[in-house]
Structure 1
Amino acid sequence: MIQSLQGIGMTSSRTRERMINRLMEQGIRSNKILDVIRNTPRHIFMDEALASRAYEDTALPIGYNQTISQPYIVAKMTELLLASSGRLEKVLEIGTGCGYQTAILAQLVNHVYSVERIAPLQKKAKDRLWGLKLKNVSYLHSDGGWGWQDHAPYDGILVAAAPPEIPEMLLQQMAVGGVMVIPIGKGSSQQLQRVTRTEGGYEVERLEPVVFVPFLSGRK
């Protein structure tokens, strides 16, 4: 287990450091986030056949027509979520996926509430995070469009799939002052947005083009 976490060859610390240098060149500024990404073994979140590509700047398949986001997108969305305040108390993640983004968040906020519609994916993710001793995560197998009302309101919401418009249920579950980072749009016409809830409504910042899997309803 120790060797698999540390990595060898294309998953070694030297390969990880090249990834960190690339993230800095791409504009990621938070040393705290960079340190967490540096020390989180991305290769354990994908099938062994793809592990050697874990530190490339690309999205990779994780099964069930889902992907693990490229390192830059994980870092960027995390930075956008945490930029406006100190350590967040409660963060809702829509799309557990393989658990990599969950693992990054869990080391930077007090508690992550992670929702995933595909049960086998979430089970694998839960096992991986348990293996990393990240225990400040709660999991729900559900339609992400519903959010997780039981623990609302949230200081932050991070969405890892692209709906055509922001789901109303997620807006309702934001705390005043809370931030949501979400890709919006279809196909190649997606845009990363940051939504801040104010006393009087919501402020939306439109940031950069992205490509995410579509936001689907239902459970599997």
Structure 2
Amino acid sequence: MEAPQINLHRINWQRIFLIGIIIALLCLNYVQCENQNIATSTIEAQNSEISTYKLKNGQLVTSQKVATLTEKELKEQIASKDKELKEIINKFSDVKYVTKYVTKTKFDTITLAYKDSIPCNFQKTDAIFTDWYSLAYKSNQHGVEVYDMVIPDSVTIVTGYKRKWFLGSKTLVVDIKHDNPFVNPEYIQQIEVKEKKKWYQTDLLKVGIGIIGGIIITR
């Protein structure tokens, strides 16, 4: 049985061309709107203030809008000003998320009382200031009182894909860096939540579009 032949003279090239133009314009309009929405959300995120809310148990949660950049913009605008971040990013084949946050752990007063008082009256006060901690203290025959203790830290989190070699399989990895050398992470758990495909992203729809397109061309 011979395969059906397509009569090129019967193809309405003008209709196909018009459909192609319409599809191209719709795609272009969608991309422009999407880019404009991303740019607007990025500006809003960069200018947004940190907000907080409390859980039922009273714990405080910090929240902020997320900025969206291309990998090129990330390297030009952010990583170019931070050599350590640049070094981390260069270890990834595909960067997905970069998070940076600054913390200050504060203790108002810590009292260390002696069980038995020292048999002499004295009092000494002093303060210590370093890059990674600062505190003031008062010592006397009853014990030591530490106050205004501050431990600063700056944290960088990079999530993305790494390869052991150029054509190797990709592995989703999170890298975390603490500026404060006295901070050592003990546990990390990074979870990727996979998004379920929409109906218009399924292979069945693609096959259907191909069949309809073939019918239009052969008519």
TM-score in terms of structure 1 length:
0.20
Max Rg structure: 2
Higher RCO (C-alpha under 8 Å, 6+ residues apart): 2
TM-score in terms of structure 2 length:
0.20
